[in-house]
Amino acid sequence: MSSSTHRYRVLGKVQGVGYRYFAARIARELQLAGWVRNLADGSVEAVACGPVTHLNRFAAELHIGPPRAEVRHVQVQEWAPDLKPDLKVDAKIEGFHIR
């Protein structure tokens, strides 16, 4: 099974509605490694590592979000840590964390 790392940016009403906890729960269920955090512009960002099929399922769930969220758009890009050093994902990371 092919593994990859993807970066997600979720736009809409996604802060103050439990979105990060939702994303972390889904990622853990899919056994992905990575993290999720709020951004100053009101969006949510996540970086996840794992099998491509699981990353695709994660993206599908991010489009839905928790009940109080209003997801307008999810940007997904394949990501390599050297593209943006401040988003570095340590290969030793285990589990999925909320930042």
72 is catalytic: no
Output the six-digit token pair for 56. Answer: 């695709």
CB 10 within 8 A of CB 74: yes
Catalytic residue among 20, 25, 28, 56: 20
Catalytic residue among 9, 37, 38, 57: 38
38 is catalytic: yes
Query: Cβ neighbours of residue 93 under 8 Å, at least 6 residues apart?
Result: 33, 34, 35, 49
Q: Which residues are catalytic?
A: 20, 38
